[in-house]
Structure 1
Amino acid sequence: MPENDALDQAADAVDSAIDKITGVPTDDGEIEEFSASGMTLLAEARGSESAGTTFVLVHGIGMGRKVFADLVRRLQPHGRVIAIDQPGYGEAPEPPRTPTIERTADLVAAYLRKVSRGPVVLIGHSMGTQVATEVAVRHPQTVKRLVLVAPTVDRHHRHALSQLARLGIDLLGESPKVLLLGAREYLRAGPHLRRKMTAMLTHRPEEAYPRVEAPTLVIRGERDRVSTVRWCAEVAAALPDSRHFTVLGHGHETLIRDARPAAQRILRFCDEG
């Protein structure tokens, strides 16, 4: 057996073992690649095509769609759930150039128009909130409701070292599930993570928030050191139509650790008039 084939098989075995340990489904949903403007995203869909609500999940820096497994499981009975690997993350190929947050948002919006299921409930986590916000601002017809979980980047701490230090403190005492999934996805994010961090820090979400038309739910983990109380209050205040929810006992990775409280609040938000 060629050495590369053996390495690939070993990597697949490790990947499958991590899925089983962390509760990620070992079977894929409906997988689709979508390319535009020199970038490719990967989308995995689960749930009924006939359901009235489509939830679209956008991950944070260094992550990928598989970290949303628990949230997908909890939302799936209530609609169609699509989790995205952004370009260069998860299993999506690395683009020739690291895209800005705005360009990634345009790619996501182009994919949503292709899916053509009407306005969606767009859920972003961490850096994914920046992408989701830009989708809502630049392509408002694609977003029915917006959910921002652990929004970044705090304008008071727009520095790579500050962000990394705060994330490191936040991860102290985190569950093995979060640490194992996070480590795998950061490895998958590849050698260009520094450029991706620069794209995240360059973006100024506070300039976009006042232009969001969709009703928006801001969710923060009580112990989140990255998305502080002060910052999340500013985010909620800047949004024209917002409400705020705190997940007690959770940190920055609240959607990965245990998505139940956030999922329950998201579903109530979707039922609001």
Structure 2
Amino acid sequence: MPRSPLPTDPSVHSFSHAGATLVAEETGGGRPVFLLLHGIGLGRNVFDGLAGILARQGRVIAVDLPGYGSAPEPERTLTMERTADLVAAFVRASRLGPVVLIGHSMGTQVASELAARHPALVELLILVAPTVDKRARRLAPQLGRLVRDLAGENPLVLYRGGREYLRAGPNLRGKTRAMLSHRPELAYPRIAAPTLVLRGAEDRVCPPRWCRFVVASIPDARYSQVPGHRHETMIRDPREAARRIVAFVGRFDAERPGS
């Protein structure tokens, strides 16, 4: 499927750095600033429901990472580290920081690297369905878990996910390789920002054992499960995840300058 041209909506703009381009869509206003990073094969549109809720609380920026959504393919597939550096450059250039950084699935890997490599830019970190479980860091186990997770899933999730996977283009194999070769557990101990790890209680891609390991590895982290949800919890019905995110952020509101 041909990639859509860069949008002309004034709330949507592109940012290029070191040979790669991301696309950002903004809603809401004020602080905090929520920055949303999607998973593999997806794009910023999967956050529409969550962004609508969070926009009542502050400024929300959802990103298409390079080669996803309406962002053009880079000449070379970016590693998670280089993707994090691109997002960090965007945050600095746009004078957004520090941000409340929210990553979903592969987006948690980018978010973790950003928080570890550029700590001054991240106020709070939220990892939703963190990947990749180091006990299943191969394509076959990951696909098997994803298939089991999607069995009987809501048609909206299947439609949005399938549409975005098609838009991700022919380089999805290289992107998957970059995701699976990344070692997020090396970044976790270097994260200084208070962190919330969210998991759908029925998520078959991110088992509880792995999520507990993630929480234990990050110096200031806590864990929460969303009952009745799977890996794509923020696509099917983001309200419960949003409620937990808002509650987590609210704990730090009194410490925010200007509150």
Query: What residue number does 1:197 align with?
Result: 176
1:250 to 229, 245, 248: 229
Unaligned 5+ residue runs, structure 2? 253-259
Q: Which has the higher helix share?
A: 1
DSSP-derived class of the 2:170 partner? helix
Query: What residue number does 1:44 align with?
Result: 25
**1:40 is aligned with what amino acid?**
T
**1:168 is aligned with what amino acid?**
V
Q: TM-score, normalised by structure 2?
A: 0.94
2:158 to 149, 155, 179: 179
Query: What residue number does 2:255 align with?
Result: none
Q: Does 1:149 align with 2:119?
A: no
Once residues 192 and 160 of structure 1 are traced to their aligned partners in structure 2, the CA distance between those partners, rounded to angstroms, is 15
Once residues 143 and 89 of structure 1 are traced to their aligned partners in structure 2, the CA distance between those partners, rounded to angstroms, is 23
Q: Does 1:233 align with 2:233?
A: no
DSSP-derived class of the 1:265 partner? helix
Once residues 187 and 107 of structure 1 are traced to their aligned partners in structure 2, the CA distance between those partners, rounded to angstroms, is 24
DSSP-derived class of the 1:235 partner? helix
What is the identity percentage for the equivalent residue pairs of Structure 1 and Structure 2? 58
Once residues 165 and 196 of structure 1 are traced to their aligned partners in structure 2, the CA distance between those partners, rounded to angstroms, is 18
Query: Are the aligned partners of 1:29 and 1:45 in contact in 2 as well (CA < 8 Å)?
Result: no
Q: Does 1:111 align with 2:90?
A: yes
**1:136 is aligned with what amino acid?**
A
Once residues 180 and 64 of structure 2 are traced to their aligned partners in structure 1, the CA distance between those partners, rounded to angstroms, is 20
1:31 to 12, 36, 41: 12
**1:42 is aligned with what amino acid?**
V
Once residues 28 and 168 of structure 1 are traced to their aligned partners in structure 2, the CA distance between those partners, rounded to angstroms, is 35
Report the CA distance between 1:129 and its aligned residue.
0.0
Q: Does 1:84 align with 2:84?
A: no
Report the CA distance between 1:115 and its aligned residue.
1.2
2:148 to 155, 162, 169: 169
Once residues 228 and 128 of structure 1 are traced to their aligned partners in structure 2, the CA distance between those partners, rounded to angstroms, is 17
Report the CA distance between 1:165 and its aligned residue.
0.9
Once residues 172 and 252 of structure 1 are traced to their aligned partners in structure 2, the CA distance between those partners, rounded to angstroms, is 12
Following TM superposition, where does structure 1 have runs of at least 4 consecutive aligned residues deviating by more than 4 angstroms? none
Report the CA distance between 1:272 and its aligned residue.
1.0
Report the CA distance between 1:271 and its aligned residue.
1.1
Query: What residue number does 1:210 align with?
Result: 189
Measured against aligned partners, the alpha-carbon deviations of 1:113-159 in whole angstroms (never above 9, x if no partner) come to 01103300000000000000000000111100000000000001000
**2:20 is aligned with what amino acid?**
M
Query: What residue number does 1:220 align with?
Result: 199
Once residues 271 and 175 of structure 1 are traced to their aligned partners in structure 2, the CA distance between those partners, rounded to angstroms, is 31
DSSP-derived class of the 1:197 partner? helix
Report the CA distance between 1:28 and its aligned residue.
5.3
- Determine which structure has more spread, i.e. the larger CA radius of gyration: 1
Query: Are the aligned partners of 1:47 and 1:79 in contact in 2 as well (CA < 8 Å)?
Result: yes
DSSP-derived class of the 1:77 partner? coil
Q: Does 1:138 align with 2:138?
A: no
Query: Are the aligned partners of 1:221 and 1:247 in contact in 2 as well (CA < 8 Å)?
Result: yes
1:98 to 64, 77, 80: 77
Once residues 116 and 10 of structure 2 are traced to their aligned partners in structure 1, the CA distance between those partners, rounded to angstroms, is 29
**2:18 is aligned with what amino acid?**
S
Query: Are the aligned partners of 1:29 and 1:46 in contact in 2 as well (CA < 8 Å)?
Result: no
DSSP-derived class of the 1:210 partner? helix
DSSP-derived class of the 2:219 partner? coil
Farther off after superposition, 114-123 or 100-109: 114-123
Once residues 196 and 128 of structure 1 are traced to their aligned partners in structure 2, the CA distance between those partners, rounded to angstroms, is 12
Q: Does 1:123 align with 2:114?
A: no
Measured against aligned partners, the alpha-carbon deviations of 1:183-224 in whole angstroms (never above 9, x if no partner) come to 110000000101000000010001110110000000000110
